[in-house]
């Protein structure tokens, strides 16, 4: 009989390319045709997707829509899952979500008669995290919550930048960001969930002090740790790419 350590080592080789390909087909529709096309069908499970832009460009709106779209029944091509919304800005409005849910209900009324707005809202779990410590505690407790609710396929943090930027100590902020990413990646591997986080833009002066560049508020390391970045502009256009200088416009 193989020892426990040997068994664990053997399990490392259990995943085939087919298994990985099958997992990659699990997508959450954004509702934006051009964006879904460029993302290969929508937001991927098992990855961290960031929505970045200035205030009022539609980041939270898409987060709310994704919380509903993840629930689309399997009979019509959806995942039939549920969502967890981690609210750091304390700006979550159920009536706003209800309006989107009613629109989605009308869209699928004929193809999925039981897909109702009231049921959609019940499948969106919500937690408020007014500070960085509570955000970290909530992310750490996600493992137990996901174990109790295995149908959760999407976790939203709106906004990741808001809590972290309240920390004045740069070293503490950097350490907490790394801890959050470590926990998020562990959870996405264990439970195959999609993480969607929102971030804001800031301006950074060049080394020569001649030009200002638009950059992510959470820094370069964070940019490397996320899998996908969607930029939102004031003109309601979407761009895809890790850097503003190399991102490409997504047409509707």
Query: 115 in a domain, yes or no?
Result: yes
**What is the structure's pLDDT at 248?**
77
Query: 245 in a domain, yes or no?
Result: yes
**What is the structure's pLDDT at 201?**
85
Query: 42 in a domain, yes or no?
Result: yes
Contacts by 212-218, CB closer than 8 A, 24 or more apart: 213/244, 213/245, 214/244, 215/244, 216/50, 216/52, 217/161, 217/165, 218/160, 218/161, 218/164, 218/177
For each successive 10 residues of the chain (252 residues), what is the average pLDDT? 53 58 74 93 97 92 98 96 96 96 97 96 97 96 96 97 85 94 96 96 65 75 93 86 74 62
**What is the structure's pLDDT at 1?**
47
DSSP state of 25: T
Query: 136 in a domain, yes or no?
Result: yes
CB neighbourhood size of 64 (10 A): 24
Query: 1 in a domain, yes or no?
Result: no
Q: Do 154 and 81 meet the contact criterion of CB atoms below 8 Å apart?
A: yes
**What is the structure's pLDDT at 9?**
54
Q: Please enumerate in sequence order all residues whose Cβ is within 8 A of that of 110, keeping only pairs 6 or more positions apart, or say none.
A: none
Token pair listed for 46: 């098992």
Containing H/E element for 229?
strand 228-232
Q: The whole model's pTM is what? A: 0.86
Query: 139 in a domain, yes or no?
Result: yes
Provide the number of structural domains found in the chain. Answer: 1
Query: 15 in a domain, yes or no?
Result: no
**What is the structure's pLDDT at 202?**
77
Query: 13 in a domain, yes or no?
Result: no
Residue 146's domain spans which residues? 26-250
CATH number at residue 125: 3.40.50.300
**What is the structure's pLDDT at 5?**
56
């Amino acid at each position: 009989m193989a020892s426990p350590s040997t068994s664990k080592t053997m399990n490392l080789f259990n995943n085939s390319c087919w298994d990985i390909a099958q997992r990659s087909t699990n997508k959450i529709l954004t509702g934006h045709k051009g964006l879904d096309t460029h993302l290969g069908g929508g937001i991927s499970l098992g990855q961290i997707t960031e929505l970045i832009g200035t205030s009022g460009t539609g980041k939270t709106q898409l987060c709310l829509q994704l919380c509903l779209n993840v629930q689309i029944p399997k009979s019509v091509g959806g995942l039939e899952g549920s969502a967890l919304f981690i609210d750091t800005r304390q700006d979550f409005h159920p009536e706003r979500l209800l309006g989107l849910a009613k629109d989605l209900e009308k869209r699928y009324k004929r193809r999925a008669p039981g897909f109702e707005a009231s049921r959609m809202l019940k499948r969106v779990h919500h937690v408020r995290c007014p500070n960085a410590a509570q955000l970290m505690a909530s992310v750490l407790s996600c493992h137990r919550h996901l174990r109790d609710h295995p149908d959760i396929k999407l976790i939203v943090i709106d906004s990741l930048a808001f809590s972290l930027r309240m920390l004045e100590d740069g070293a503490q902020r950097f350490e907490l960001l790394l801890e959050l990413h470590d926990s998020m990646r562990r959870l996405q591997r264990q439970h195959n969930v999609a993480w969607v986080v929102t971030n804001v833009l800031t301006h950074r002066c060049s080394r020569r002090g001649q030009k200002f560049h638009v950059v992510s508020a959470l820094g370069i390391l964070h940019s490397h740790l996320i899998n996908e970045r969607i930029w939102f502009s004031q003109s309601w256009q979407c761009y895809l790419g890790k850097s503003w200088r190399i991102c490409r416009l997504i047409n509707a």
